[in-house]
């Protein structure tokens, strides 16, 4: 009999320090485990608790999962204090993930904020692995300061890929920063894409998601072409514990990725 | 036609005693210490030679308490997938129509959806529900408002209707039918006249309850979702929450509320994952890491409780998640009354009840 609340054993093989508050954990599951891009897992720190994370790694990589995690709460703080070879647990994958089939042949605009680039990186890897399947991939990423940019080494490599266009901006610059300064919404203009044939995928803090969505609507994106990652308290991941309810949906089981069309009638979605 | 049998009171007592040999048998008993004017009933394990009492209306405890526990160990890790769950086979007497209606919600949550909760399923499979008609009601009872009759029509294994010096026992499932077969010496097929008498008694009680509810002018099943949608921004939520002390009692005593929290704790060589009932009326219910909280105010949380019952479940299961048992009304130290909240919305939105 399967116990849906029981995690499988895994081990932290390596840790990459991305920023002062964000680390990427390379986790090797003790048994077969796979996910679709955009689905999330519940990561257990034994004895301490669980928290939901969307992997930032390529779903085609079957033996290792990467999780990019900000030190933001009780469990994440303890994770940040954990070292290599720490035993952890995983449950999942949960949720629906990104509907890649609906992105075929499209111009794909990806808008990330802060650690919100984590699930989007997994999506980018999936797109890159079949790049000819899509017309264009445009990444617009905003971080608070240059220090807060994740995947610093990797991002410049992405812009070398055919039909991939990358722009990074920071809210607050600093000496030596030669890039854009301004909120991510300021780099959502003059986009090299055809809006009628484009989809936008947004992930970041709620306030950034709100203003990015408003900007995209302003640009003329159809409501059903804007994909949003909703952040809620997802405890069980299975649509049973109740916490992540949003209107008629459970964020965990019906999302965590929703189109704006699906959730726009729900009051206070940005809270 | 359902199979209906007649059983003498003494025979039913004997039947229950026989059941004790293979099941843990819970029966309704009068709760000794209460602070209410009405007699309260609670579940207790049947002891030897104890005659069965018939509860005229629902017990204090919700039926869900037999299937999900306020605190239980949900998993031990890492030790494979099978939780150690030696669960007893249980018979529960005294279940009422509202309990069964509420139970549909619990079944939907834990038996359906993306995955099945194995512990819940095991307890469900191991349990025989022996329900009974209501022969009276409490002042807070309002099942009829949700079109739930005060006698069960399905969802039970056996249902008892008091009649003269005994009961009519209706078979509602294979499990119930098997029990009757096994103890067929106690049960004789009911006569048409007895079934008519049962119908008459049921109709009388239903009429009495209707008369009790009529002056209350309750909101109807059909209009309640509209109240949630259109009443979202009304001050009702704020006004009714002024006295809330955030005890969570309304959720814990509710037969349909199912929210739980998973919490891990180190325990010797193993780690235990605890599963605890949770309340959406608690301030940290929806809080996420970093501190964002979509349900910051008590008014938002009251509205969340109501929209879950009357919007979410109507959308997802086709029925509101309220069985009209009135337990939340009785338990609330702040006298927040689910009927009054709905009526206030209806009044402000000009929705006829």
pLDDT tens-place string over residues B203-253: 999 999 999 999 999 999 999 999 999 999 999 999 999 999 999 999 999
CB contact under 8 A, A271 and B294: yes
Note whether A56 and A32 are same-domain residues: yes
Note whether B201 and B247 are same-domain residues: no
Note whether A125 and A86 are same-domain residues: no
CB-CB neighbours of A169 under 10 Å: 20
Note whether B194 and B320 are same-domain residues: no
DSSP letter (8 states) at residue A91: E
Out of B216, B234, B264, a domain closes at B216
Q: Is residue A145 in a domain?
A: yes
Give the pLDDT of residue A2: 84
Q: Which CATH number characterizes residue A145's domain?
A: 3.40.50.80
Residues of B in contact with A97 (CB under 8 A): none
Note whether B206 and B316 are same-domain residues: no
Out of A93, A109, A140, a domain closes at A93
CB contact under 8 A, B289 and A5: no
Give the pLDDT of residue B37: 82
Give the pLDDT of residue B3: 94
B128-181 confidence digits (pLDDT tens): 999 999 999 999 999 999 999 999 999 999 999 999 989 999 999 999 999 999
Note whether B289 and B344 are same-domain residues: yes
Note whether A40 and A58 are same-domain residues: yes
Note whether A108 and A208 are same-domain residues: yes
Q: Which of A195-209, B145-159, B254-268 has the lowest mean pLDDT?
A: B254-268
CB contact under 8 A, B77 and A4: no
Domain that holds residue B98: 4-216
Give the pLDDT of residue B258: 98
Does residue A9 have a pLDDT over 70?
Answer: yes
Q: Which helix (H) or strand (E) holds B244?
A: none
Can you tell me the mean pLDDT for A245-265?
Answer: 96
Residues of A in contact with B117 (CB under 8 A): 4, 240
CB-CB neighbours of B249 under 10 Å: 18
Note whether A24 and A114 are same-domain residues: no
Note whether A127 and A221 are same-domain residues: yes
Q: Which CATH number characterizes residue A43's domain?
A: 2.40.30.10
Q: Is residue A270 in a domain?
A: no
Quote the number of domains for chain B: 2
Q: Is residue A241 in a domain?
A: no
Does residue A257 have a pLDDT over 60?
Answer: yes
A–B interface: beta-carbon pairs under 8 A: 134
Give the pLDDT of residue B33: 73
Nearest to A5 among B114, B262, B312 (CB): B262
Note whether B210 and B255 are same-domain residues: no
Q: Is residue A202 in a domain?
A: yes
Residues of A in contact with B75 (CB under 8 A): 3, 5-7
Burial class (CB in 10 A: 0-12, 13-18, 19+), A208: buried
**ipTM (interface pTM):** 0.93
CB contact under 8 A, B258 and A240: yes
Does residue B269 have a pLDDT over 90?
Answer: no
CB A241, CB B262: distance < 8 Å:
yes
Whole-model pTM? 0.94
The residues, ordered by sequence, that sit 6+ positions from B219 with a Cβ below 8 Å of its Cβ are B145, B227, B339, B342, B343, B345, B346, B351, B353
Mean pLDDT across chain A: 95
CB B248, CB B281: distance < 8 Å:
yes
B69-86 confidence digits (pLDDT tens): 999 999 988 865 555 666
Q: Is residue A15 in a domain?
A: yes
Out of B181, B216, B251, a domain closes at B216
B309-351 confidence digits (pLDDT tens): 999 999 999 999 999 999 999 999 999 999 999 999 999 998 8
Q: In 3D, which of B269, B273, B78, B83 has the Cα closest to residue A8?
A: B78
Burial class (CB in 10 A: 0-12, 13-18, 19+), B9: middle
CB-CB neighbours of B349 under 10 Å: 15
Does residue B50 have a pLDDT over 80?
Answer: yes
Nearest CA in chain A to B262: A235
CB-CB neighbours of A194 under 10 Å: 11
Note whether A21 and A46 are same-domain residues: yes
Q: Is residue A265 in a domain?
A: no
Can you tell me the mean pLDDT for A205-230?
Answer: 96
Nearest to B81 among A3, A44, A89 (CB): A3
Domain that holds residue A151: 100-229
Q: Is residue A251 in a domain?
A: no
Note whether B198 and B255 are same-domain residues: no
Q: In 3D, which of A7, A23, A205 has the Cα closest to residue A91?
A: A7
Note whether B314 and B246 are same-domain residues: yes
Note whether B165 and B241 are same-domain residues: no
């Amino acid at each position: 009999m399967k116990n849906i609340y029981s995690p499988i054993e895994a081990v932290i093989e390596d840790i990459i320090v991305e920023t002062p508050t964000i680390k990427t954990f390379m986790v090797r599951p003790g048994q077969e485990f796979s996910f679709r891009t955009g689905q999330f897992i519940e990561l257990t720190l034994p004895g301490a608790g669980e928290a939901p994370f969307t992997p930032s790694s390529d779903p085609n990589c079957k033996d290792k999962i990467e999780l990019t995690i900000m030190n933001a709460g009780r469990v994440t703080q303890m994770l940040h204090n954990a070292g290599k070879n720490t035993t952890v647990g995983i449950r999942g994958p949960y949720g629906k993930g990104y509907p890649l089939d609906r992105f075929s042949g499209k111009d794909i605009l990806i808008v990330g904020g802060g650690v919100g680039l984590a699930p989007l990186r997994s999506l980018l890897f999936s797109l890159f692995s079949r790049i000819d399947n899509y017309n264009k991939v445009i990444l617009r990423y905003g971080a608070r300061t240059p220090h807060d940019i994740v995947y610093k080494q990797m991002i410049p490599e992405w812009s070398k890929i055919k039909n991939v266009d990358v722009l990074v901006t920071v809210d607050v610059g600093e000496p030596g920063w030669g890039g854009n300064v301004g909120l991510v919404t300021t780099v959502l203009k003059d986009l090299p894409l055809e809006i009628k044939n484009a989809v936008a995928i947004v992930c970041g803090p709620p306030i950034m998601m709100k203003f990015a969505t408003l900007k995209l609507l302003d640009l003329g994106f159809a409501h059903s072409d804007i994909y949003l990652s909703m952040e809620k308290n997802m405890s069980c991941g299975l649509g049973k514990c109740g916490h992540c309810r949003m209107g008629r949906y459970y964020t965990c089981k019906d999302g965590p990725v929703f189109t704006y069309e699906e959730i726009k009638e729900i009051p206070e979605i940005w809270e | 036609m359902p199979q209906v049998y007649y059983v003498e009171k003494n025979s039913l007592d004997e039947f229950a005693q026989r059941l004790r040999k293979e099941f843990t048998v819970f029966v309704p008993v009068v709760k000794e210490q209460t602070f209410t004017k009405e007699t309260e009933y609670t579940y207790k394990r049947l002891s030897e030679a104890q005659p069965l009492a018939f509860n005229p209306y629902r017990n204090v405890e919700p039926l869900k308490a037999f299937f999900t526990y306020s605190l239980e160990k949900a998993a031990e890790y890492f030790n494979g997938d099978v939780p150690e769950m030696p669960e007893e086979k249980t018979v529960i007497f005294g279940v009422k129509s509202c309990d069964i209606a509420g139970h549909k919600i619990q079944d939907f949550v834990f038996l359906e959806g993306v995955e099945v909760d194995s512990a819940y399923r095991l307890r469900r499979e191991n349990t025989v529900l022996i329900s009974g008609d209501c022969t009276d009601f409490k002042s807070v009872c309002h099942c009829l408002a949700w079109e739930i009759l005060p006698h069960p029509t399905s969802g039970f294994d056996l249902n008892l209707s008091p009649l003269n010096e005994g009961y009519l026992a209706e078979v509602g499932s294979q499990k119930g039918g098997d029990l009757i077969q096994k103890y067929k010496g106690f049960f004789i097929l009911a006569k048409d006249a007895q079934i008519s008498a049962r119908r008459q008694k049921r109709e009388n009680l239903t009429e009495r309850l209707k008369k009790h509810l009529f002056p209350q002018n309750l909101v109807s099943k059909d209009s309640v979702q509209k109240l949630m949608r259109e009443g979202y921004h009304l001050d009702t939520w704020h006004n009714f929450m002024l006295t809330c002390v955030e005890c969570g009692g309304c959720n814990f005593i509710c037969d349909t509320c199912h929210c739980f929290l998973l919490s891990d704790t180190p325990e010797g060589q193993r780690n235990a994952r605890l599963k605890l009932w949770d309340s959406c009326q608690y301030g940290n219910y929806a809080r996420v890491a970093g501190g964002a909280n979509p349900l910051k105010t008590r008014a938002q949380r009251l509205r969340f409780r109501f929209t879950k019952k009357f919007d979410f479940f109507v959308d997802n299961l086709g029925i509101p998640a309220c069985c009209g048992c009135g337990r939340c009304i009785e338990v609330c130290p702040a006298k927040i009354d689910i009927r009054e909240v709905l009526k206030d919305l209806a009044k402000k939105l000009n929705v006829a009840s």
